Every structure is written in structure tokens, then in C-alpha cells.
Amino acid sequence: MARPVTLFTGQWADLPIDEMCSKAKSFGYDGVELACWGDHFEVSKADAAYCQAKRALLAKHGLKHYSISTHLVGQAVCDNIDARHAQILPGSIYGDGDPEGVRQRAAEEIKKTATAAKEFGVSTVNGFTGSSIWHLVYSFPPNLPGQIDAGYEDFAKRWGPIFDHFQNEGVRFALEVHPTEIAFDISSARRALEAVGNHPAFGFNYDPSHFGYQGVDYVKFLYEFSDRIFHVHMKDVAWSDTPKDAGVFGGHVDFHKPERYWDFKSVGRGCINFEKIIRALNDISYGGPLSVEWEDGGMDREHGAAESCEFVKRIDFPPSQLIFDAQFAEK
């Protein structure tokens, strides 16, 4: 049986949820991954009546739901907070901008998100964690002994109690491994898991687009963390075969500029080998949704979302239920 194909609504939060659902269905999607911003999924309102109404809305459009996503608030739990965060956080979380106050309010909101997810009827919350040590990613001036360790200790201190709450609610947190997070490649993902003692409520929202241009083996990631792949984003990225003005770090150049070495693309139009990903997902027995996170600065988003849905449904296939050549041994 093919996996359900869903659409992450984070890049569509300017649209009311009813309109968004109508569009998602018209594009061909089986369901939606609701973002916890805009009016798509409002954690502060997510009591039994709200969640029932949201489920009824999805059912009206013939859409399923498997997860919700809280990237923006999650980012603030471990981050070095500054004025940039005011543009992504609700006023109730950002408040007066005092960094520690922001971090603590964000942590409490993430706990509430786990409770809301349970009420809504999903067992996975996708998101970011933030990182107190991302600014140390390039070690010059040389990082001091213990600085990186302290960053993972900070992550464990802040997120450990959150993961305990998730476990108590029967919900899992799936970190989208991504630059600016506590885990951004295979090595840092290992350290993040070790930091929280391989907490059972902590795993990953797999998104290959954040690995390819870094030179990270995005297929190996699936095999190495096979028991921690809680959710999958289908998102594409292209990188250049030749040197560019702005390299892997982006050169402070906006997306969709020709001088960039890499840029996000509509699914199927970049460099990610999705055939290998599907085969690896089959090997690790991942049967959850394939959720399109659509980004392409050079394409109309409705065209892109529709073609991405078609591409994912075409590229996906179930694993074989037979052992190759075993039929020749049958009497």
C-alpha cells in the first residue's frame, strides 16, 4: 500500500485553513501536516471542541491528519534570542524579549503542544529545537574546551523535561535536522541523541533537502537512525556543479539568486535522489506519511504543490513481499 502524501501548511499560513484545505485537496493530497501558526492549528485554543471542529473540517475536504508542526516556537527553546525572533513568535511567547523569559515560555508552549496533539489525535509533533552553539559551527576564533559540550548539556537541560512530558502524553517530538538546530547533520544528530540519553520521545523529521548541499549522506541518515525516523518531509534542493559567488554558507545572498551555490526546488526538480530515499524507507519499514514541504522561489506555489504531489505519488512504491528467486525453489 502506498504511503499517504500530505502537504505541510507552514508555507501557506497566509491562507485561512478552510481555503488551504480546499487547495490541498484540489492538488491531489491525501492529507495535511498542519502548522501551529496562522489559524491552521492554534495550540492555545486546542481543547476538545476545537480539535473536534478541526477534524471535521479536514473530513469535509476528504483530508487525513498524521502530525502537527511547531517549528517557530520550538526554535526559541534553545536559541540565543534576539530581535529576529519577534517576527516568528507570538507576542505571548516573545513578550518583552528578555532571552531567558522567551526560552522558558517557549518550552511551556511546546509542552502544551504535546497535549494538544494528543487531543487532536496525532502522535507526532515536528519542529525545531534551536541551538545555543550554532554560532560556533565554524571554529574561529577557536572554540574553547567544553563550549560544544555545554551546548549539548543546555539542550538536554531544556528539552529533557519536554520530552518527558511528550512521553507521558504518548506523543513523539521529531526534530527537523537543519542548520541552526542542535542537530544539522549525522554527527550532530548522534550527539543530540546521546545528550538526552536516547530519550524514546525524541527522534527526527527527515528532510533530505538540508543534507544534500552540505555534502551529508542523506540516505545513510535513514539507515543510521532507522528507529528514530518519526516523520518524513519530501523537499528538494539543487546545488551547482561549478563554483559560485556564494557558497555553502550562502554569502548573505537571498534565495533564488543565480550567484548562490544551492537553492530549494519544487520536488523532483533538484538534485535529491528520491528513488534511493524510497528504497531506504522501504528497507527501514517506514510506513508513515510523505509530507511535501514546498519551497521554490522561482515557481508559482500552486503549480509547484500540485506537481510535487504528482511526483511523490509516482515515485513511491511498496516494498516487495517476496524473497527474490525464492519462487524457483517452490515444488
Structural domains present in the chain? 5-329 (3.20.20.150)
So what's the pLDDT on residue 306?
98
Which residue numbers in the chain have pLDDT < 70?
1, 323-331
Q: With 0-12 CB in 10 A as exposed, 13-18 as middle and 19+ as buried, what is 31?
A: buried
54 contact partners, CB below 8 Å, separation of at least 6:
17, 34, 41, 120
Contact 46, 86 (CB under 8 A): no
- The conformational region for residue 118 under phi > 0 = left, psi -120 to 50 = alpha, else beta, is alpha
Prediction pTM value: 0.96
So what's the pLDDT on residue 119?
98
Angle at 5 (CA atoms; ends 15, 54), nearest 5 degrees: 45
